[in-house]
Structure 1
Amino acid sequence: MSESRVQMKEGEKPWYVGWSNCHPDVLSEMRQHYEMPHFLPQDAEHARMDYIFIGYDQGAVMHIDYISRLMWQAQIRGHKTWRLVPPPDCEDVCSPLTFRVDPGDIVLLDTRQWYHDTHIDAGELSLTVSSEYG
């Protein structure tokens, strides 16, 4: 990717990527830069994999996650709007929900049950760290 696109210079197409890391040495280095949320239960198991999501504009398209546990996401930079849509078996009694996260906010969510997408404020770079717990 060109430096111009990385910086989202005028005329460039937005981009958004997410990836996971499970290499013990890299994970150890990453976790030196942030802590697990302090309000998670003391006996909660934490995944041996963390995720990074970074980019502009659309963010993640509507989907559900195929992961083993509940998920937390910490918004590090930028502002992101989440849209949650209930699963089909609940859509007649559950309403969609939209909320915005700011830097420092942490979302706890069962992304295995709720369909979700995200949108990043225009012109902002969003950086999010995420992991599973349970």
Structure 2
Amino acid sequence: MTDVSIERVFSAPQEKVFSFITETENLLKWWGPEGITIAENNLNFSACGPWFSVMVNGEGERFKVSGLVTSVDPPNSVSFTWGWHDDRDIRGAESHVTVTLSADKSGGTKFELVHRDLTDEEAGVRHNEGWTSSLRKLEQFVNS
């Protein structure tokens, strides 16, 4: 198993950042790597329960991921499971994501994402790239 850990500091206050990682309207602004659109979803990380999204790349390929929101502690953290679906819509191996926020000394927000239990190194590299790209989009929204 492989884990990915990514940290950022955003200039926005913690409550604003938390709204962008939990509320549907805000999630849809940054969810998925650059160049991806969200074709279908029930993204809502503000309460425990199921979620899914279908991402579509520039070539029209569809990528479905789903899971359960397992913990929500406003405005400090959210945790959820994560599993990719194959082309027959069969869900694969489950991994776990936790996003933790804390106020920093300058009035901004320290953001930490940990994606645990990925199947192997290659999955770790791909998820690190995907999250890094997604977080570039998030940064544009929360810091504006």
Task: Flag whether TM exceeds 0.5 (same fold).
Answer: no
Structure with higher Rg: it is: 1
TM-score by length of 1: 0.29
